Structure 1
Amino acid sequence: MSTNTTRPAHIPAIRRYAIGDRLPVQAQRIWLILTGYVCGRPAPIRASDRTITYGELAERMGHGDRRAGHMLGRQLGIVGHYCLMNGLPALNAIVVNQDTREPGGDVVLTPKRDFRGEVKAIYQTDWYTVGVPSAGTLRKVWEAS
């Protein structure tokens, strides 16, 4: 492989995420953040370390204010529905309120599974074997839900 730093015209430039991206693109970014969060945890994982707050997620997405986390519900729902449509635990369930340490009332969960069971199933899944959904696929999930 050449160490040439010039990108040929037929090779697309790297796409960078930004504040203001469309909802499906934000959902894709959330997927990457959450799978990285889950897979990057050293074992054994204390129960208190298995979740991420809405504010922490907002910060990782580049929002300057943690309160922006309350605006991520639709994007998290897209991720959760995509997971369920593909036989996976609802990855969105690890995002919780800072005070209650539980997800919001609109959280997507696997039917007949409570929040704690969903989190356990999330950590039993090898997310490195699951491909990243395209923004186009997540747009279709959003339109279907």
Structure 2
Amino acid sequence: MKRSERACQIWAVLALCAKNRQTITYGILSKLTGIAAQGLGQCLEPIQSYCLLNELPPLTILVVQQDSGFPGDGFTGSRAEIFAKDLIRVFDQDWLAHGNPQPDKLEEAAAKRPSNGV
């Protein structure tokens, strides 16, 4: 399965988390998707890039480290002072109405706007 197809699967999980106003740890997301926790960053990048390109709140903020409760280093906006504000923006967005972007749109976004922590 390609990275963009995995990202599409992850998007659905994160949209449901946002609707329920919850974060999810890398470990739990790994168990739900079957993607090794160490490989999740690569699959989250297309989602992060898509959000950046489409001026959407940072959906990937919902994936947090077990010990700190904050996103990993690859997240572009993980500064503590903006975390709470961005988290509220993500919770307030109607992700289900937005729909799940198809894999080609996610991969296109990652190519146009690489966002792996830069």
TM-score range, shorter chain: 0.7 to 0.9
Return the letter of the residue paired with 1:69: A
The equivalent position to 1:80 in structure 2, one of 48, 68, 73, is 48
- What TM-score, normalized by structure 1, do the two folds share? 0.70
Identity %: 31
User: Which amino acid counterpart does residue 52 of structure 2 have in structure 1?
Assistant: L
For residues 23-67 of structure 1, what are the alpha-carbon distances to aligned partners after superposition, in whole Å with 9 as ceiling and x for unaligned?
11111111011001221x2xxx5xxxx31000110111035xxxx
Gaps of 5+ in 1: 1-20
Alpha-carbon distance between aligned partners in 1 of 2:44 and 2:76, rounded to the nearest angstrom: 8
1:105 aligns with 2:77: no
Q: Which runs of 4+ in 1 moved over 2 A?
A: none
Counterpart of 2:9 (choices 29, 34, 43) is 29
Q: Aligned residue pairs: how many?
A: 111
Mapped partners of 2:56, 2:34: distance in 1: 27
TM-score relative to the length of structure 2: 0.85
Is 1:55 matched up with 2:27? yes
- Aligned partner of 2:61 in structure 1 is 93
Q: Which amino acid aligns with 1:29?
A: Q
Rg larger in structure: 1
How big is the alpha-carbon RMSD for the aligned residues of Structure 1 and Structure 2?
1.8
Q: Which has the higher contact order (CA 8 A, sep 6+)?
A: 2
Give the structure with the larger helix fraction.
Answer: 2
Cα deviation, residue 140, structure 1: 0.9
1:81 and 1:108 in contact (8 A); partners too: no
